[in-house]
Amino acid sequence: MADSYPPLLRRIRDEGHSIGTHTQDHPLKTLSVERMKREIDDGIESVGRALGNPSEVAPFFRFPGLIHPVPAEDYLASKRIMVWSVDLVADDWRRISPDQVLKRALIRLEKRGRGILLLHDIQRRTTLALPRLLAALKAQNYHVVHVVPAASGVGDSGQLMGEVGSRL
Ligand SMILES: [Zn+2]
């Protein structure tokens, strides 16, 4: 995605967002340790290249399919990259309507009270649901948090501020 849409990545950066990575080719099955390392490194390199500055890649990573192989976790830790998972999903990769994405996100968030909500920006249903989701979160007094590295860039320590989605 970074290789295909570098201007979009720069726009996301310019609008103030942190950009982490998610592997180069999004492999979902078990890989050799060497291949895993390459997937991680290539993903970081692609995002750094798209941004025009490798130090602007946030030291944040999410595993494809939320599968966390221990050797890959160890490798990320050795690079001081923080691994993120999720607390709830809105099933936005399934064939459901934008309304259903919105409904599932809000119901599950309500049940839990707060948490990291997984959404996929490549899904049209998600982009259609997002303005209403953000408006609903605001109306219900949720606090949407932007997580930033304590010092910017891969290789620096990835400490964070704040709590995602906690209610005021
Ligand atoms: Zn993914």
**Strand-pair category, 60-62 with 82-84:** parallel
Domain residue extents for the chain: 6-84, 86-168
10-31 pLDDT tens trace: 999 999 999 999 999 998 777 8
Centre of ligand 1 from the C-alpha of residue 27, in Å: 9
- As a whole number of angstroms, the distance between CA 111 and CA 99 comes to 18
- As a whole number of angstroms, the distance between CA 122 and CA 136 comes to 22
Residue among 32, 151, 85 at smallest CA distance from 40? 32
Centre of ligand 1 from the C-alpha of residue 66, in Å: 8
**pLDDT of the residue at 30:** 78
- As a whole number of angstroms, the distance between CA 148 and CA 58 comes to 8
Centre of ligand 1 from the C-alpha of residue 65, in Å: 6
Centre of ligand 1 from the C-alpha of residue 157, in Å: 24
Q: Is 31 exposed, middle or buried (0-12, 13-18, 19+ CB in 10 A)?
A: middle
Domain 6-84 has CATH 3.40.50.10800: no
**pLDDT of the residue at 124:** 97
Centre of ligand 1 from the C-alpha of residue 161, in Å: 24
Residue among 35, 28, 25 at smallest CA distance from 3? 25
Residues of the chain with pLDDT under 50: 155-168
Centre of ligand 1 from the C-alpha of residue 64, in Å: 5
Centre of ligand 1 from the C-alpha of residue 51, in Å: 20
Residue among 120, 158, 122, 162 at smallest CA distance from 142? 162
